[in-house]
Amino acid sequence: MKICVLGLGHIGLPTALLFAAHGADVVGVDVKQSVVDCLNHRNLPFREPGLEDLYREAEERFAARARPGTADVFLIAVPTPLDQATKVSDLSYVKKAADSIAPHLARGNLVILESTVPPERASGSSSPGSRRKASLSGISSTLTVRSGRYRGGLSRR
Ligand SMILES: NC(=O)c1ccc[n+]([C@@H]2O[C@H](COP(=O)([O-])OP(=O)(O)OC[C@H]3O[C@@H](n4cnc5c(N)ncnc54)[C@H](O)[C@@H]3O)[C@@H](O)[C@H]2O)c1
């Protein structure tokens, strides 16, 4: 199974490495070229307990890229910062990530939105282009929320 994880931050990177350590072929995508270069030079962009060991277990099946390609599963873990004044989440990162996978979506693909998005806004987080593509491919969207269950490598325990 090929999995594409968008956003290689504190949620996306450990999640991507966990999938790879358990046998999936994983492409991690980040818009920050420095993050992509760092990982492809076998370095970690940040420290977290257990992450280095996990990376060593995963590295044969993990590659970092600046752009997504085809995959069976896409997991979006990009930021959704809260505007402190208005208390509204900025969903522009999610929209850009959804747009970037739209050309690669095919029938049977699964798209998981890991970013924190208000439930009623999830279906509006994709652009008309990606929704049209999803609809053409017979893809349905379902949102499952299971918040606060893990942070990175803790999910292995
Ligand atoms: N589901 C959970 O349990 C859980 C827990 C904590 C946080 N979150 C949510 O996960 C999301 C990510 O949090 P984080 O702490 O990992 O953020 P982070 O800032 O550590 O990492 C986000 C990464 O996404 C990259 N990025 C931005 N736009 C992108 C794009 N279009 N394509 C690819 N990469 C892109 C950034 O360069 C950055 O490296 C947030 O919405 C956060 O609220 C979820």
The beta strand positions in the chain, using DSSP E, are: 2-6, 25-29, 62-65, 73-76, 110-113
The continuous run of DSSP H or E covering 92 comes out as: helix 92-101
Cα–ligand 1 centroid distance for 1 (angstroms): 23
Regions of the chain short of the pLDDT cut 70 = 120-157
Residue type, 118: P
Tens digit of each residue's pLDDT (9 = 90 or more) over 93-130: 999 999 999 999 999 999 999 999 887 666 555 555 55
pLDDT at position 114, please? 94
Q: Is residue 12 lining ligand 1, measured as CB closer than 6 Å?
A: yes
Q: What is the pLDDT of residue 154?
A: 34
Report the nearest-CA residue for atom 36 of ligand 1: 7
CA of 9 to the centre of ligand 1 (A): 5
Q: Which atom of ligand 1 is nearest to the CA of 100?
A: 31
Cα 107 to ligand 1 centre (Å): 26
Q: What is the pLDDT of residue 118?
A: 81
Instruction: Say if ligand 1 is within 6 A of residue 131 CB.
Output: no
Q: For the whole prediction, is pTM greater than 0.75? A: yes
Mutate to test the pocket of ligand 1, among 8, 11, 145, 154 (most ligand atoms within 8 A of CB): 11
What was the pLDDT predicted at 142?
45
Give me the residue spans of the domains in the chain: 2-152
Domain 2-152 matching CATH 3.40.50.720: the answer reads yes
- CB distance 14 to ligand 1 below 6 Å: no
Nearest to 14 by CA among 155, 135, 152, 109: 152
Query: Which helix (DSSP H) or strand (DSSP E) does residue 17 occupy?
Result: helix 12-21
